[in-house]
Amino acid sequence: MLSTRTNPLKRITRIDVTAFASVMIVLAFTMLLVVMSENPFHHGVGPDLPKVESPIKMWGANRRDALMVAIMRDGKVFFGNDLVWPREKLAGQIRQRLTEGVEKKIYIRADARVPYGVVGQVLDSISVAGVERVGFLVDQRKAPTLVP
C-alpha cells in the first residue's frame, strides 16, 4: 500500500500566512498601545498628581493645543514640553502662546510633594501673563473597599 503513494516523505514547506498575519497584528496593536499610553510630557517622567475624592473632569486638558504647565517634585517647571528656567520667564512664554489665539485657560499638573511656594510662584506668573482661568489636574482616589 505504501508503494502506491507518489511522494510519501515530502515535507510541507509553506508558511501559514494566517498565523503570521495574526502575530503581526498583535505586535502592531501592542506597539500602538505602548506609544499611546506614554505620558506626552517630559519624556515619560511625570509628576505624581495629588489624589482627591471627587475630581471634576476637564476634557479640555486632553487637547493637543491645551496650555499645560507641569511642576515636578524637584521644583522644575515645564511649559508644554519645554523646561522653563528661570521661572520668571514663564509669564513671557505664556503671553507668546496666547498671541497664537489659543484658549485662555491653563492646566497645571503639580506633583503632590512640591512645595507650595513653587506653586505660588507659578500661579503669580500665570496671573501676570493675563490668564484668569486655571485648572489643577488631579487623580481620583480609589474608594475604600468594605470587607464584610
CATH 2.40.110.10 fits 42-140, yes or no: no
Average pLDDT, the chain: 84
d(C-alpha 61, C-alpha 48), whole Å: 17
pLDDT of the residue at 41: 47
Give the pLDDT confidence of 125-139 residue by residue, as tens digits: 999 999 989 999 998
Determine the Cα–Cα distance for residues 67 and 85; give it in Å rounded to an integer. 18
Report pTM.
0.64
- Tens of pLDDT, residues 63-120: 888 899 999 999 999 998 889 988 889 999 999 998 887 788 999 999 999 999 999 9
pLDDT above 70 for 20: yes
Candidate ranges 2-16, 24-38, 95-109; pick with highest mean pLDDT = 95-109
43: left (phi over 0), alpha (psi -120 to 50) or beta: left
Tell me the mean pLDDT in the region 51-65. Answer: 86
* 48 neighbors 111 (Cβ within 8 angstroms): yes
Q: Report the pLDDT averaged over residues 25-38.
A: 82
- pLDDT average, residue stretch 40-56: 73
Are 83 and 90 in contact, with CB atoms under 8 Å apart?
Answer: no
